[in-house]
Amino acid sequence: MRRKFGAVLVGSLTLALAATACQSNTGGPGPGPTNVAGGSFITVNDAKGPAPEVPGAVKGGTVTAIGSTDFDDRDPQANYRGDGILVYGQLIFRALTGYYEDIAADGKITLKLMGDLATSTGTTTDGCKTWSYTLRDGIKFQDGSAITSKDIAYGVSRSFDGALATGPQYVQKYLAGSDDYASFYKGPFAAPGTTSPGIETPDDKTLIFKLGAAHCDFPMAVALPTTIPVPKAKDTGPETYQNAMVASGPYQIESWTHGEKMTLVRNTNWDPASDPLRHSYPDKWVFDWSGTDPAIVSKRFVDDAPADQAAIQWENVPSEALPDVLNNPAAKARAVEGDTVFNIYLQINTQRVTDVDVRRALNYAYNKKAHLQVIGGEFAGKVSTTITAPTVPGYKKYDAYPAPDTGDVDKAKALLAGKTVPPLKYCFRPGTPVREQVAAATKENLERAGFQIVMTPTDATTHNTLVGRKSFQMGCDLLTYGWGQDFPSNSTVVGVLMKGGASIQAEGNVNVSLFDNAGVNAEIDRLASEPDVAKAAEGYMALDEKIMKEFAPLIPIYYDHSFSLAGSKIGGLYLSGTWGSPSLQNVWVKS
């Protein structure tokens, strides 16, 4: 999944598959935000609502999340940014399955995959090729109408449309049995009255998926926004449904001025007895993206004025504001800090920068320390050397281009000796002082090795949509990009970022380097069908190293770390190990 620009708050999970049937929730240790690291991943197949109460939590109040970047893709099936998935999934919409993060008294998370709209995570009797689901009782849209299997089937079907290609693509590819899902089915807008092949709805409570090949990770894939139900009668089309989306979760959209502010109020037709995943403590949520400088926002949180006491900072504390936090014990106690699932890269367009030695020279030249210093140093992340982040199962440390954190200009120049390298277009997202400073540092640290860098700012409000468009990617040589696993498998990192062939599509393309190698593609396909999860994890990591050493399609910059603040009246806040943002699951307002 894509990373938002700014802070992403997440706990690191040690993943082990098990099964259990019990639920509890301590709400996290202490009265305020909790820093969570460690835990486990389990599957629960008989979870029932309501979600367990958070001790001490009360209803009422308004919570405000203060950031600078609105969600790029608002349509539920197009939503693929980590914080957007979290806000949609915890507050506004429900999917076929979902995650509940159970917090123990010691602060460790047990991540539980459960049925959400479905009663379980799914059943299969043919080795993961066919998956069946039964829907819960009492599930309704905000207008009071019952959610049926046909609404979910329609939601999945509309995800095939090219206008929604920025969203997750696992379910579409699994149904098609091919990366080229666009040739399999065009969606109900192109073919009115149709449902995707492979989906059956024998009655309003039953949903059956017949996949093109076996996929035992299907229950995790359907936790993504692809299976959010959409009432066909209310769908005005892939370009306009985002203006009148129909909620299925505990809150509904009261108003949304894109790029500025979104306000959520209670959905009175949400039944907590039908939902084992969500709470609804605050009366209202406000997401404020008015563009205030993160340094100014940080000062507000340090001061903890009454207007900000029930607020959550939706950005990292920038480097210039860190001393104010670290020298203020009361503010530091309200910090939410932890490593995230995200890895940040400078992607190199391999179809424009075709000389692998030039790409290797870029790796040696990059000053990762300078980049980190701009955004907060050790509080923003740790220098990375791999495509895979340490939170992904099977991660192994290696360094294909060993150099100081400041880079090795001499090695870069040696690789460039005798070559004529044209100016390189560096596409970056503008809009805040930190982004501009990162872009300037990138230009400076590459030009010292002899590269010519042409600064090419994108449109700040549509950046994530643009960077998924192949026609846009082909106009850039370099592009900063962040990615985190969609679920606990490297098939969702190396398996998508480095997969070429039909996976490189006109819209919604996440292989931003446009890297396409037949041998790598074949190995990714082989690993995707490997039944031994441990062997697959080891294989993906070996492939990661091979890709970096032989092809250098990107520059790993840093493994993301988060450090942000919350107001003194926020209770139940902790770090989400799933979507890479502060979890809103247990949040409540103290009186």
Across 94-109, average pLDDT: 89
* pLDDT band per the 50, 70, 90 thresholds, residue 34: very low
166, containing H or E segment: none
The β-bridge partners of 41 are 111
Across 247-272, average pLDDT: 97
- Does the pTM surpass 0.85? The reply is yes
Range 39-289+566-589 has CATH code 3.40.190.10: yes
pLDDT at 4: 66
Across 552-575, average pLDDT: 94
pLDDT at 155: 98
pLDDT at 19: 32
Task: Answer yes or no: are the C-beta atoms of 547 and 553 closer than 8 Å.
Answer: yes
State the Cα–Cα distance between residues 61 and 26, nearest whole angstrom. 21
pLDDT in tens, 407-450: 999 999 999 999 999 999 999 999 878 889 999 999 999 999 99
Three-state secondary structure of 179-245: CCHHHCCCCCCCCCCCCCCCEEEEECCEEEEECCCCCCCHHHHCCCHHHCCCCHHHCCCCCCHHHCC
Q: Which CATH superfamily groups domain 339-561?
A: Dipeptide-binding Protein; Domain 3 (3.10.105.10)
pLDDT in tens, 288-306: 998 678 889 999 999 999 9
pLDDT at 24: 45
pLDDT in tens, 485-528: 999 899 999 999 999 999 999 988 999 999 999 999 999 999 99
With a CB cutoff of 8 Å and minimum separation 6, the contacts of 125 are: none
Please check the confidence at residue 29 and state whether its pLDDT lies above 50. Answer: no
Please check the confidence at residue 17 and state whether its pLDDT lies above 50. Answer: no
pLDDT in tens, 320-375: 899 999 999 999 999 988 888 999 999 999 999 999 999 999 999 999 999 999 98
Amino acid at 526: R
Across 172-186, average pLDDT: 96
- The domain locations on the chain are 39-289+566-589, 339-561
Burial class (CB in 10 A: 0-12, 13-18, 19+), 330: exposed
pLDDT at 39: 65
Across 552-560, average pLDDT: 97
Name the more confident of 435 and 87: 87
Percent over 90 (pLDDT), the chain:
79
pLDDT at 574: 87
174, containing H or E segment: helix 170-176
pLDDT at 2: 83
What is the residue-averaged pLDDT of the chain?
A: 91
Please check the confidence at residue 160 and state whether its pLDDT lies above 80. Answer: yes
The β-bridge partners of 284 are 62, 265
Lowest mean pLDDT among 129-143, 274-288, 309-323: 309-323
* pLDDT band per the 50, 70, 90 thresholds, residue 562: confident
Closest CA to 130 of 183, 177, 169: 177
Q: What are the E-state strand segments in 243-357?
A: 251-257, 261-266, 284-288, 311-313, 335-348
Across 554-558, average pLDDT: 98
Percent over 70 (pLDDT), the chain:
94
With a CB cutoff of 8 Å and minimum separation 6, the contacts of 68 are: 5, 6, 289, 291, 292, 294, 314, 315, 431, 432
State the Cα–Cα distance between residues 503 and 522, nearest whole angstrom. 13
